[in-house]
Amino acid sequence: MRQLSPTELKTWLDDATRDRPLLLDVREGWEYERCHLEGATLLPMSAIQTRLGELDPASETVVICHHGVRSFHVARFLEANGFSNVINLTGGVDAWARQVDHTMPTY
């Protein structure tokens, strides 16, 4: 599975020549409301199995959580179910707030 640091993801998102990946936030709703990356889609880890059909297996998908642990497990689950372009955001939104967007709330 591919891994991206927050700064690498920021560079990608800022590059107008690259297609934007699906930013898949797998935290709970209250966490997403507290802070999230702009344009991220919320799909809690607990709902992944039942809502898997809503996702495109060919789409480049960056999986995001609080610290990178839940997203790692979801990314592995997606790969095991035929998703070929899955990337884990290392450190999650916590690392994003500390390395990229210092205005983002942390918890």
43-82 pLDDT, tens digit per residue, is: 999 999 999 999 999 999 999 999 999 999 999 999 999 9
Answer whether 10's CB lies under 8 Å from 21's CB. Answer: no
Domain boundaries, the chain: 2-99
Q: How far apart are CA 67 and CA 75, in angstroms?
A: 14
Q: Is 65 a catalytic residue?
A: yes
Active-site choice (9, 22, 37, 65): 65
CATH code of the domain made up of 2-99: 3.40.250.10
Answer whether 85's CB lies under 8 Å from 60's CB. Answer: yes
pLDDT band for position 84 (cuts 50, 70, 90) = very high
- pTM of full prediction above 0.75: yes
15-53 pLDDT, tens digit per residue, is: 999 999 999 999 999 999 999 999 999 999 999 999 999
